[in-house]
Chains A and B, each alone.
Chain A
């Protein structure tokens, strides 16, 4: 049986993809990417969840949740953030060159 919180993360991914495909504004597209990323991160962290367990800290009695997804998701978040930062900086560059962030207009603007 798939836990219900999986559905939440999957729907985040779907929403993210929808935004990327449907929205015309670059910033919104980048937000869509971020939502997708968040959805997967959520899935990753929920994979390690064990019911009624505590954080895996020394001297705290078990059962512990799986610590590996937590480590992984930290890395993934960091990576996600840096990609977003880069994407936004590229968007700034595009804005400087074309004067707009609407994708339709960007495609039309000649150099």
Chain B
């Protein structure tokens, strides 16, 4: 493998695919799928075939293919593959444009992951950023506008970070940043800018307000955005904190119970994000918004891990990011399948679809288990690692916040489960069919890793350990079924055996009791026969809880931003008055400018 091959396969090939698939009309997602599959194959073939290369397109792009890149690429590749597979049968309007933009986003993601210099990082970051913008634009210009403002904010934070590094080193390479020329107070600025910049993509509070809007676009794309592209934020923060800066510099700011003072506030922010995201998710009736807030919350967990910075925390963060990529994409695709079949977004308008769409139900159920961190799923392990990382350091704010958020995750998961798949079927949904085969296949692909890694977490922990050692951190202590920490760890083998025993006991009881199978429309009757619409109780779900939280819910970051921007726009109108439209004023400006220039010129002399 040489520079051009690497560049060709991971960057040029998707770009060519993007160009070709635009003209693919109905078959565009399939064309895109083929191109993604090719990169996927190379990703598989080239595992272990790592190296660093430079590509010259006028500016030098420093691309490195290593285990970190590979690990993140694996997620993104799988997620985009299933998203495109889903899109094949989703009847999108202008599917050509959709596939093109997806592949552009994919190219950007690959580039961000491969780049080891700031120029190419920024280049591909922005490429990814605007292709997402145009994808959202397909649904709504207003959502896209909100996204773009934050996308650009993120890019400019990153630019500030990069710029400060460039001021000291005069080079764009990551490795030059560590040459010791950057004083530690500058590192504080650099890291804060970079973390905030990448944090926008992870939707860290208070930079999350774009997410609920962006995640309300077309489901196959949102599944890629939430599952795949948001992981670039994780990657960026991981790289900037532990690879570009490194633990030594982080610890030079002082430590709090062994955690860097720079990392701790971000861990706290992550915990708050997890908490707030989850609380807000509970009260959403729109399935897309619910999943969006859930996504915000879950990435808050990842942020906690990245902020804490111990091997256990980072391992947990990477593992959780990995899990999130799969279960959240799966959920979005599941929601997409339901929306595709019913045309409804509101949870309260659905219900009882479990019998109509059994496979979708099964897959979504599995994703929900992972999301809620129910034991037996890989989501449990990663969350458990993060809890332990927080508890180990005795962080009495972070750990409880995360635990509460986990309970909250349970609540909104149940809302999805009950509101969509259980309960009474609505009259108008009686003809609803199971989702088309490509959609099911897409969901199945995403379910597989969740299943496998919940039984054998050791495989993925092996990769995570490689990533950690590659970054220069201590590896985690693990075996095929177990990981160990100073306060316990978790053994999945025991869990599975216990589960299997309990499962068979339950099955035995079920068979022995001879439970009566009732018709779906037969439940809840109490002498009266109301219509099936009234039977479904997903309307105003969690109302008591919502009433409890009402005093808190009236504060909205969204509105704060609107006020903030209105203040500035009023200022713009004031400034506008300078351009009076009268040429005499303008001539006077010219004269005044001449005098001012002269005075300054003389002064400078």
A residues within 8 Å of B by Cβ? 17, 20-22, 24, 29, 103, 107
Per the CB 8 Å criterion, the residue count for chain B at the interface is 7
A103 touches B584 (CB 8 A): yes
B591 touches A17 (CB 8 A): yes
A29 CA to B587 CA, complexed, in Å: 11
Closest B residue by C-beta to A23: B584
Residues from chain A with a CB closer than 8 A to the CB of B587 are: 17, 20-21
Cβ contact of B581, chosen from A20, A24, A29, A107, cutoff 8 A: A107
Residues from chain A with a CB closer than 8 A to the CB of B588 are: 21
Other than the known A17-B587, A107-B582, what 7 A-B pairs have Cβ atoms closer than 8 Å? A20-B584, A21-B584, A22-B584, A29-B583, A103-B583, A103-B584, A107-B581
B591 touches A103 (CB 8 A): no
**Smallest CB separation, A17 vs chain B (Å):** 5
**Smallest CB separation, B144 vs chain A (Å):** 36
Between A and B, 17 residue pairs with Cβ closer than 8 Å are: A17-B587, A17-B591, A20-B584, A20-B587, A21-B584, A21-B587, A21-B588, A21-B591, A22-B584, A24-B584, A29-B583, A29-B584, A103-B582, A103-B583, A103-B584, A107-B581, A107-B582
**Smallest CB separation, A13 vs chain B (Å):** 10
Closest A residue by C-beta to B590: A17
**Smallest CB separation, A2 vs chain B (Å):** 16
Residues from chain A with a CB closer than 8 A to the CB of B591 are: 17, 21
Residues from chain B with a CB closer than 8 A to the CB of A21 are: 584, 587-588, 591
A93 CA to B584 CA, complexed, in Å: 19
Closest A residue by C-beta to B585: A21
Which 10 A-B pairs give the minimum distances between C-beta atoms?
A20-B587, A21-B588, A21-B587, A21-B584, A17-B591, A107-B582, A103-B584, A107-B581, A21-B591, A20-B584
Q: Which of B436-487 contact A (CB under 8 A)?
A: none
Of B581, B582, B584, B591, most A-chain CB atoms within 10 Å: B584
Q: Which of B161-204 contact A (CB under 8 A)?
A: none
**Smallest CB separation, B581 vs chain A (Å):** 7
A84 CA to B584 CA, complexed, in Å: 17
**Smallest CB separation, A88 vs chain B (Å):** 15
A107 CA to B585 CA, complexed, in Å: 13
Residues from chain B with a CB closer than 8 A to the CB of A103 are: 582-584
A20 CA to B581 CA, complexed, in Å: 15
Q: Which of B571-605 contact A (CB under 8 A)?
A: 581-584, 587-588, 591
Residues from chain B with a CB closer than 8 A to the CB of A22 are: 584
A22 CA to B582 CA, complexed, in Å: 12
A70 CA to B584 CA, complexed, in Å: 32
Residues from chain A with a CB closer than 8 A to the CB of B583 are: 29, 103
A29 CA to B588 CA, complexed, in Å: 13
A43 CA to B582 CA, complexed, in Å: 30
A17 CA to B587 CA, complexed, in Å: 8
Closest A residue by C-beta to B589: A21
A103 CA to B583 CA, complexed, in Å: 9
**Smallest CB separation, A32 vs chain B (Å):** 9
Residues from chain B with a CB closer than 8 A to the CB of A17 are: 587, 591
Residues from chain B with a CB closer than 8 A to the CB of A24 are: 584
Closest A residue by C-beta to B588: A21
Residues from chain A with a CB closer than 8 A to the CB of B582 are: 103, 107
A29 CA to B581 CA, complexed, in Å: 16
**Smallest CB separation, A15 vs chain B (Å):** 13
**Smallest CB separation, A66 vs chain B (Å):** 27
Closest B residue by C-beta to A18: B591
A7 CA to B582 CA, complexed, in Å: 30
A24 CA to B584 CA, complexed, in Å: 8
A107 CA to B583 CA, complexed, in Å: 10
Residues from chain A with a CB closer than 8 A to the CB of B584 are: 20-22, 24, 29, 103
**Smallest CB separation, B267 vs chain A (Å):** 60
A20 CA to B588 CA, complexed, in Å: 8
Residues from chain A with a CB closer than 8 A to the CB of B581 are: 107
A17 CA to B583 CA, complexed, in Å: 12
A20 CA to B591 CA, complexed, in Å: 10
**Smallest CB separation, A20 vs chain B (Å):** 5
**Smallest CB separation, B405 vs chain A (Å):** 61
**Smallest CB separation, A30 vs chain B (Å):** 11
A110 CA to B96 CA, complexed, in Å: 48
User: Interface readout for B134-172 with A: 1 if CB under 8 Å, 0 if not?
Assistant: 000000000000000000000000000000000000000
**Smallest CB separation, A33 vs chain B (Å):** 9
A91 CA to B581 CA, complexed, in Å: 17
**Smallest CB separation, B268 vs chain A (Å):** 58
**Smallest CB separation, A41 vs chain B (Å):** 19
**Smallest CB separation, B585 vs chain A (Å):** 8
A103 CA to B587 CA, complexed, in Å: 13
User: Interface readout for B509-525 with A: 1 if CB under 8 Å, 0 if not?
Assistant: 00000000000000000
**Smallest CB separation, A23 vs chain B (Å):** 8
**Smallest CB separation, A85 vs chain B (Å):** 19
A108 CA to B581 CA, complexed, in Å: 11
Closest B residue by C-beta to A22: B584
Residues from chain B with a CB closer than 8 A to the CB of A107 are: 581-582
A21 CA to B595 CA, complexed, in Å: 15
Of A20, A22, A103, most B-chain CB atoms within 10 Å: A20
**Smallest CB separation, A100 vs chain B (Å):** 15
A39 CA to B340 CA, complexed, in Å: 77
Of A17, A21, A22, A103, most B-chain CB atoms within 10 Å: A21
Residues from chain B with a CB closer than 8 A to the CB of A20 are: 584, 587
A29 CA to B586 CA, complexed, in Å: 13
**Smallest CB separation, B587 vs chain A (Å):** 5
A103 CA to B582 CA, complexed, in Å: 8
**Smallest CB separation, B582 vs chain A (Å):** 6
A22 CA to B591 CA, complexed, in Å: 12
A17 CA to B590 CA, complexed, in Å: 10
